[in-house]
Amino acid sequence: MIALVAEIVVSLMIVAGASFALIGSWGLVRLPTLMERLHGPTKATTLGLGGMLVGSVLFFRLDQNLWSAHELLITLFLFITAPIAANMIAKVHLHSLRAGDPPDNAGPAGTPPPPPGAADWATYEAPHRDTPVATSET
């Protein structure tokens, strides 16, 4: 009886997770431009993968009678890497806008406004003298 309930719960989690991953990928296809497309993979897929990982933890705990912690680590690394990957793509987009791409590539949001004050957005600035050696080119 418990085995049956466990199987149902685990399969529900896996199917729900897979659906979110599919919706995230569909967002990548159908949203209008690059900046909007970034929203699909950074969010819908976190819950997609999260659901599958919870299913995996439950499977090992209820079916195999083991505690498995690798899923926690995968979640941790995903939460660290997903925003950084999105940030890198957004920065490349900012550079391509300034380099004079066709204006319709900017999408419905247009080009980003400059920040108030004298300084520009950080990605347009040359590395500062006191940044660690490994992070700057000079």
Partner 1 sequence: MMRRLIPHPGLSMLLVAVWLLLANSFSAGALIVGIVVGLALPIFTAPFWPDRPRVNFGLGLAYLVLVLWDIIVANFEVAAIILIRRNRDLRPTWLVIPMTLQTPEAITVLAATISLTPGTVSADVSACGRYLLVHALDAADPDAEIARIKSRYESRLLGVFA
Residue 22: CB partners within 8 Å, gap ≥ 6? Answer: 48
Interaction between residue 62 and partner 1 (CB under 8 A):
no
Interface positions, 108-137, toward partner 1 (CB under 8 A): 108-110, 112-113, 115-125, 132-135
Determine the Cα–Cα distance for residues 101 and 111; give it in Å rounded to an integer.
Answer: 11
Burial class of residue 109, CB neighbours in 10 A (0-12, 13-18, 19+): exposed
Give the nearer residue to partner 1 in terms of CB position, either 2 or 122: 122
Interaction between residue 12 and partner 1 (CB under 8 A):
no
Residue 112: CB partners within 8 Å, gap ≥ 6? Answer: 94, 97, 121
> Where does this chain bind partner 1 (CB under 8 A)?
20, 23-24, 26-27, 30-32, 35-36, 38-40, 42-44, 46-48, 68-70, 72-73, 76, 79-80, 82-84, 86-87, 90-91, 93-94, 107-110, 112-113, 115-125, 132-135
